[in-house]
Amino acid sequence: MTLFCGTFNLGDLKTDSNNTGSRLTVIFFNFLSETTGNGFIARDIEFQNMAGPQGAQAVALAIASDRAALYSCSISGYQDSLYAVSLRQFYCECDIYGTIDFIFGNAAAVIQTSNLILLQPADGAYNLILANGRTDPGAVVMESNIGDAIAPQGWIQWPGGSFSSISTLYFSEYVNTGLGASTYGRVNWPGFHNIEVIEAYKFTVDFIDGMGWLPDTGVPFLPGLGGPIAADYSLN
């Protein structure tokens, strides 16, 4: 475990952490791990919330740290696994598991070369990756392999939300591949876009001013669209 410039609260009571090979596993049953303070870095850590698919929110990891970087980590829960609370965050080569709204928050976050893995939801439920309950949610999926588990419409209105939010949200896709990547049949909303390369560049690490701070973390990253990963990870 490598932690810099922040607090790391492993929850309370029913918490167990154990070493499994080279990765530290942190297991939660009802509580969450929360990081605050700037410059948080985590490597080779597995965060799990063991609350099952039945029930409400069960956050595995909440981050409210500016310039946070996670490398080769696993974040696993069911509903609301990763709470990207605020500020600038970067994830590389991470596995993120969940069923409903399992990546959400108000952070400016970039996730690269990572896996978003859908778990079996509760009976009668369906999977949602992102939560779009605010009036102005934003998400961009680009240069990703999208499996056939994604419905053709791709996006869904927040249950019980205002119809006007589909005009104020910003959802877009760019050059994705895979059986679920076709944008034929996607939602016809004012806020949904198939973007071109100039627009896509805005959502590289430049979106989080990454060139100004990611090199100092040692975490590998793609500086632009496609191309090789920059830097090697070497934290001691």
CB 63 within 8 A of CB 85: yes
The number of C-alpha atoms within 13 Å of 143 and in the hemisphere containing its C-beta is 16
Specify the DSSP element, H or E, that contains 229. Answer: none
DSSP letter (8 states) at residue 119: P
- Give the integer Cα–Cα distance in Å for 221 and 134: 29
Residue 61's φ and ψ, nearest 5 degrees, are -150, 130
Catalytic site includes residue 101: yes
Catalytic residue of the set 16, 44, 101, 209: 101
228: helix, coil or strand?
Answer: coil
- Give the integer Cα–Cα distance in Å for 193 and 140: 9
Neighbouring-strand partners of residue 56? none
Catalytic residues: 101
